[in-house]
Amino acid sequence: MSANGTNDYSTSEMMTVAAARRLGNGSVCFVGIGLPSKAANLARLTHAPEVVLIYESGPIGAKPSVLPLSIGDGELAETADTVVPTGEIFRYWLQGGRIDVGFLGAAQVDKFGNINTTVIGDYHQPKVRLPGAGGAPEIAGSATEVLVILKQSHRTFVDKLAFITSVGHGEGGDHRQRLGLPGAGPVAIITDLCIMTPEAGSNEFVVTSLHSGVTREQVIENTGWAIRFADQLTETAAPTDAELEALRALEARTAAAHGQAGGDE
């Protein structure tokens, strides 16, 4: 049931709502396509109407009515406050320290928040060739903080990445700082089962909040490393009716426009 007790919700909806809640009103967010875009736009449509959404292709302050199919979707430019060259997005906004939150998806992630979106298997003879890096390495490297959203399974939460596309906390501890990367790096991984945050000192991701109805055993079964749980483990607040209504309306508009709900990969 939702927080208001009137609606059932899916694990995917719980994940999207939990991720959206991490965005503060007025924050400047560099958004990835797919699940990050869905969560970021839900935040804009609910508790964070003044969030500034920036996409890699140049739109600043995008307010799409439907979820974009790609960074080149005209909906982003048409609804933005302004559109600037991609070089300016990266050099002035991102590398200039003007991005509060980088919001990324992933094909795989490890215990230190490093991301793989390049290949599964050997790089030269991969089992699967993934979409690739795009701007994610720069976002992960330079944003003030990073949020990661993806569905949780043994295939996605792995002990060792086949390829590190985007650096999170590297090998843990102060490795990110020793690499000279600015910003805090990943501060949360939000999944359809739980929320993870980096442990102080080690920067290994531990479970800090379980979604309603999810057990520790489910998380363990769907994680490729020996996942640990915080001493003060909490339960994620269920979606409210308002959050679910806004999300479902966004998905319905997207499906009507594109034939798909968007962001469900």
Residues annotated as part of the active site:
56
Tokens 């479902």 correspond to 248
Give the torsion sign (CA, 160, 161, 162, 166).
Answer: negative
Evaluate whether 168 touches 176 at the Cβ level (below 8 Å).
yes
- One DSSP character per residue, 101-128 reads EEEE--SEE-TT--EE-SEEE-SSSEEE
Evaluate whether 197 touches 187 at the Cβ level (below 8 Å).
yes
Fill in the amino acid letter for 185: G
Fill in the amino acid letter for 231: D
Evaluate whether 109 touches 116 at the Cβ level (below 8 Å).
yes
Cα–Cα dist 127/144, whole Å: 34
Q: For residue 88, count CB atoms less than 10 angstroms from its CB and return exposed for 0-12, middle for 13-18, buried for 19 or more.
A: middle
Cα 117 to its chain centre, rounded Å, is 13
Cα–Cα dist 46/172, whole Å: 35
